[in-house]
Structure 1
Amino acid sequence: MGQQAHFITFATRDLDAARAFYIDGLGWHPLLDVPDEIVFFQIAPGLVLGLFESAKFASDLGIPVDETNVSGSTIAHNVGSPDEVRLITEAMAGAGGTTLVAPSPGAFGGIFHAIVRDPNGIVWEIAHNPGWSIAADGSVTFG
């Protein structure tokens, strides 16, 4: 298997709240939006985020709905400055997200970050790390 992923999909208890957060609140444009089922967003070259209505997600996986909760994961969005961290955190909170960690220096790796949970429990880290770089093609360099 190649070392790559193309879709990250999360079960979503309230698909309408997810749409309101990402589309109306953050201004994202869906790649595909299937009412009452799933919405996909292109989030990087070759990478799509899917938000799948939880009962249909559970049915697709063959598991009970109560086993579809998001837990123990974050999606990181890296930006160019601490001010961008602050602005994006404000936008996410204004769109209905919950700020778990206000913009501040992180405990690890010299980053400045904030942690925001979307209305369905997906946790985002908005971070500026001057020791990392992300090239135009999306490749990441540490150090």
Structure 2
Amino acid sequence: MEQQAHFLTLSTPDLDAARRFYRDGLGWTPLLDVPDEIIFFQIAPGFVLGLFEAAKFDADLGGPATGGRTGGLTLSHNVPSPAEVDAAVRRAVEAGGTLVKSPARAAFGGYHGHVADPNGVIWEICHNPGWRIEPDGRVVLQAPGEMPSD
């Protein structure tokens, strides 16, 4: 099997709240929205985030598998500046997200804040000067001592 994934699907007990958070708070455009079932967002080339209504998610797996909660993970979104971190965190909270950590200087040398979506999925909104995507799609991560200053 090739080392790649095409979908990240999360169970959500409140699909409408999740839709408001991702569409209105993060400003994302749905790729496909099936009311009362699932909503998909294109989040990278060849990669889609799906938010699947919890009961239908469990039925699709053949029984209760999640208890309707997702945890133990963070999803990260990098932006070009600390000011954009502040603005994105503010919009996400205004759209129903819960502030987990106010934006601040990060130990790795960047700037970040954390917001939980209505399902408890934690999003790190980050400005990381040592992170970039090459033209071929490869991600480059630099160690803190190698990063440019912002």
TM-score, normalised via structure 1 length: 0.91
Deviations 1:36-81 (A, max 9, x none): 1100000111110000000010111123265341010011001111
Matched with 2:128 is: 129
Determine the C-alpha separation between the residues in 2 that align with 1:132 and 1:93.
25
Q: Give the share of equivalent positions with the same residue, in percent.
A: 59
Q: Which amino acid aligns with 1:74?
A: T
Matched with 1:142 is: 141
- In the alignment, structure 2 segments of 5+ residues that lack a partner are 143-150
Q: CA RMSD in A?
A: 1.5
Moved over 6 A (4+): none
Helix, strand or coil for the counterpart of 2:2?
coil
Aligned residues: 142
Matched with 2:45 is: 45
Matched with 1:86 is: 86
For the Cα contact (< 8 Å) 2:11–2:66, is it kept in 1? Answer: no
Matched with 2:115 is: 116
For the Cα contact (< 8 Å) 1:44–1:138, is it kept in 2? Answer: no
Matched with 1:16 is: 16
TM-score, normalised via structure 2 length: 0.87
For the Cα contact (< 8 Å) 2:69–2:119, is it kept in 1? Answer: no
Q: Which amino acid aligns with 2:97?
A: G
Determine the C-alpha separation between the residues in 1 that align with 2:84 and 2:134.
18
